[in-house]
Chains A and B, each alone.
Chain A
Amino acid sequence: MTTLALGTRRARPLISARTRKLLIGYCYLMPAALCMLATVVVPIGMAIKMSLYNDILYKPQDYRFIGLGNYFRLAADPVFWLSLWNSCVWVFGSVALQFVFGFAAALLLNQAFRGRALVRTLTLLPWIIPGVVVGLIWEWLYQPNYGVINDLLIKAGWLHDRIAWLSTPDLAMAAVVFTNVWRGIPFFTIMLLAGLQAVPAELYEAAHVDGASVFGRFRHITLPLLRPIIVVATATRIIWTFNYADLIFVMTNGGPANATQITSTYTLLQAYSNLDFGYAGALSVVLLLVMLVFTAAYLRITRGVEEIA
């Protein structure tokens, strides 16, 4: 029996088993915590500090502590509230559709059929390209005058007039959500496929022998066993999508007339067009708080990632 414990020796009565367990746990955690500290926690602290100041880069003489001034301004800013609403539409629309279709895709790819490896690889492709390039490509596809989508729809007779997908305020959000769904389905497909593969086949067979239908097996075996992964995948995805500015930035830049302006693109605008880093910091902090509250509630409702005993 080889013992390769991290630094602790066996059978030393000095450290109790319980403490040793704790130490091991912390040791395992340390590399991850260090990564986080250096690359994220410190910058977040700096941003919080930034939000408490009047920090407009081209007016350095006006730099001063204003406490919650940026936050009051935020509360009175109609574009901010619009962007928050847009963010919700963007996030929940995208993630719900990505989840549903991703799950369907995972179930399909879980079956055995010839060429499965190839199909799995092909369905991963939308995820691979950088978001900015996806935005460019789809912007080209949506172009009313020389884009493929209008061309095909008109040729198929489903459309008479060209639709300006990204220039019509009512359609623009739907269009960018659709692109985001295209891009994000592989995420759920892979995550759920891995989860599905970990479900032991015997459980299905036993249930089948007991007379359970396909849907019954799905409800009583698949879903419960996949619950931790579903929760983790959707929670992470929701958070990522809240912050995901690339697609909208490239495709519509928040337009037309703020129809697709989400809070993270609004933050970008404030930071890099208006050079108002104080306000941008406040926007990020507020977004962070909104997401924290949401996540805490979400995890509580779905009972988090408690183990299967």
Chain B
Amino acid sequence: MMRRRPSAGLAERLLAGPVLWGGLVLLTAFALGPFIWMLLTSLKDHQELYATPLEYLPRHPTLENYVDAWTSPVTPFSRFFFNSLWVCSVTMVATTAVSVLAGYAIARFRFAGRDALLLIFLATQMFPSVLLIAPLLTQWRALGLIDTYQALIYSNFSFTVPFTVWMMVGYFSSIPRDLEESAMIDGCNHFGALCRIVLPLAAPGIAATAIFAFVVSWSELLFAISFTTETDMRTLSAGLLYMVGQYEVQWGPLSAGVIMSTVPVAVLFTFLQRHLIHGLTAGAVKG
């Protein structure tokens, strides 16, 4: 979104030029550094991995780590991939739907116990998930949900819903009420106002929380291991740990797995981040 600047002062020019580019370079280098190392590692064969002193560039780059991981019958990354994709997508969609509704209610309606409710949502995140395992395991086993996608999805709600509700409350709070009020004066009811006015304005926030629900459940590990037993039902995070042996870490396949597991999220984000661009308020605010 280009902003017209009538005249640029020195501070502005500095910020738009060297500071911006310097900052971006630093930021990207910092975020990517370990990934580049992982990428290089994934292309090395066993000999080069264990060479001392450290070698950075693989002398004989090979794709065997990727092929092994993807096609291996004992650690079928293709299967893990699909499991993760499904579980996280459903979690993302369901969580976003639930939290949009709840967030709107809390942000807009004043009712008794509103603050307490907010605090309770927050408080449920204050509990170590490790101690949730045993009771949840009992529940899922009683319902016959071990080794199903459902157990993982429902368990994911325990940490995605609280924070997405909070996020949506925050985003809805920063949208001025006037817009809905003017829509309702024009004859809309609450749900209509929600759909037609507020949601488009809150699109960046919704996109952000959807991304979060997806990313956080993508990296979730503990529940995936605890509630599944079949290798075929394991998710990508659990699959990555299969490379961690008792006495050594198989860095080659592990880094290949890490690189592979970042791809879908990066793709998803590239789509969703378009919604982080906002251009619909132009002219909507009266006065």
Contacts and interface: CB of A to CB of B under 8 A. Distances in A.
Contact-residue bracket for chain A: 35 or more
Interface string B258-287: 100110011001100110111001100100
A129 B265 CA distance: 10
Contacts of A306: 173
A120 B101 CA distance: 28
A284 interface: yes
B191 interface: yes
B185 interface: no
A146 interface: yes
B36 to A, nearest CB: 10
Contact of B54 (A138, A148, A280): A148
Contacts of B20: 108, 111, 113
Contacts of B119: 292, 295-296, 299
A204 B139 contact: no
Contact of B191 (A4, A41, A133): A4
Interface in A262-309: 264, 267-268, 271-272, 280-281, 284, 287-288, 291-292, 295-296, 299, 304-309
B276 to A, nearest CB: 5
Interface in A112-148: 112-113, 117, 119-133, 136-138, 140-141, 146, 148
Contacts of A308: 173-174, 176
B3 to A, nearest CB: 6
B125 interface: yes
Interface in B235-260: 237, 240-241, 244, 249, 251, 254, 258
A75 interface: no
Nearest to B2: A112
A111 B211 CA distance: 21
A132 B270 contact: no
A79 interface: no
Nearest to B139: A38
A240 B220 CA distance: 14
Contacts of B251: 140
B266 A32 contact: no
Given A24-B105, A128-B261, A232-B170, A42 B98 contact: no
A44 interface: yes
B212 A4 contact: no
B189 interface: yes
Given A5-B191, A146-B52, A195-B174, A22 B240 contact: no
Interface string B1-22: 1111110010110011000100
Main SS at interface, chain B: helix
A191 B117 contact: no
A156 interface: no
B131 A47 contact: yes
B32 interface: yes
Interface string A1-12: 111111000100
15 contacts: A6-B191, A36-B162, A112-B1, A123-B27, A124-B265, A130-B237, A131-B221, A133-B240, A186-B31, A190-B212, A194-B207, A243-B129, A271-B130, A308-B174, A309-B177
Interface of B: 1-6, 9, 11-12, 15-16, 20, 23-24, 27-28, 30-32, 34-35, 37-38, 52-54, 97-99, 101-102, 104-109, 111, 115, 117-132, 135-136, 139, 154-155, 157-158, 161-163, 165-167, 169-171, 173-177, 187-192, 201-202, 204-205, 207-208, 211-212, 215, 218-221, 237, 240-241, 244, 249, 251, 254, 258, 261-262, 265-266, 269-270, 273-274, 276-278, 281-282, 285
Given A132-B237, A151-B54, A205-B4, 19 more contacts: A6-B191, A28-B101, A31-B101, A32-B98, A32-B101, A38-B154, A40-B158, A105-B23, A111-B16, A122-B32, A193-B276, A198-B278, A208-B5, A214-B15, A232-B167, A232-B170, A264-B128, A271-B130, A307-B174
